């Protein structure tokens, strides 16, 4: 941080970490967090949905567009649709692809978060609590990594652990979009 001595910066980060830990362990947060067990599915493994535009298959591939570092992107095999800007991780590109091709997906069919038998309203409440918890846990990892890099800690959060938290958050964001879509769909008449 600009204007802070290294010692002040470390103290500031330590304060942030304690505040985040306090929030995570608070009774209110624990009440609002429905689960920490999201299911046995590895969040870094993402099946690609079909293209909403042409029903073609999405193909995950490497992209070097204007960047010397390895990047990933999903392209439709049949039309020109892409997942968005190339990303650092293949799972990010796959989740972005699924996020722009929602029509053939249902929140109740996602392999995570236990949404199968929930109404859109109940699924929304569940995902809201899960997302809030993930945001705090990712912020804690970030602050811990900054403290480690500043020399104020001997422990660095694992990169795989952090990546999984970020993937879970992207899955939760996808679930939230699918829940909103389900709420907007007209209900079948009986």
Rounded to the nearest integer, the mean pLDDT of the chain is 91
Q: Which of 9-18, 64-73, 81-90, 181-190 has the highest mean pLDDT?
A: 81-90
Token pair of 126 as six digits? 């569940």
Calculate mean pLDDT across residues 156-160.
Answer: 85
Mean pLDDT of 96-117: 96
pLDDT-derived band at 187, boundaries 50, 70, 90: low
Q: Are 157 and 141 in contact (CB under 8 A)?
A: yes
Would you say residue 1 has pLDDT above 80? no
Whether 189 has a pLDDT exceeding 60, the answer reads no
Q: Is the pLDDT of residue 181 over 80?
A: yes
What does the angle CA 68 – CA 165 – CA 86 come to, to the nearest 5 degrees?
A: 25
Report pLDDT for 91.
96
Q: What is the average per-residue pLDDT within 154-169?
A: 90
Q: What is the pLDDT of residue 58?
A: 95
Q: Quote the percentage of the chain above a pLDDT of 70.
A: 94
């Amino acid at each position: 941080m600009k204007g802070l001595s290294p010692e002040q910066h470390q103290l500031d980060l330590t304060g942030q970490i304690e505040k985040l830990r306090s929030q995570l362990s608070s009774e209110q947060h624990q009440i609002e967090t429905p689960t920490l067990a999201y299911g046995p599915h590895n969040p870094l493994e993402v099946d690609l949905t079909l293209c909403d535009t042409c029903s073609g298959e999405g193909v995950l591939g490497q992209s070097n567009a204007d960047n010397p570092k390895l990047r990933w992107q999903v392209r439709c095999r049949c039309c020109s649709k892409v997942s968005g800007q190339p990303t650092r991780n293949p799972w990010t590109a796959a989740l972005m692809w699924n996020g722009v091709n929602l029509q053939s997906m249902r929140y109740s069919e996602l392999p995570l978060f236990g949404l199968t038998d929930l109404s859109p309203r109940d699924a929304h409440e569940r995902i809201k609590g899960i997302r809030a918890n993930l945001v705090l846990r990712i912020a804690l990892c970030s602050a811990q990594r900054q403290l480690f890099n500043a020399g104020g800690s001997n422990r660095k959060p694992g990169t795989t652990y952090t990546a999984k938290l970020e993937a879970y958050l992207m899955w939760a964001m996808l679930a939230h979009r699918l829940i909103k879509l389900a709420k907007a769909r007209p209900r079948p008449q009986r």
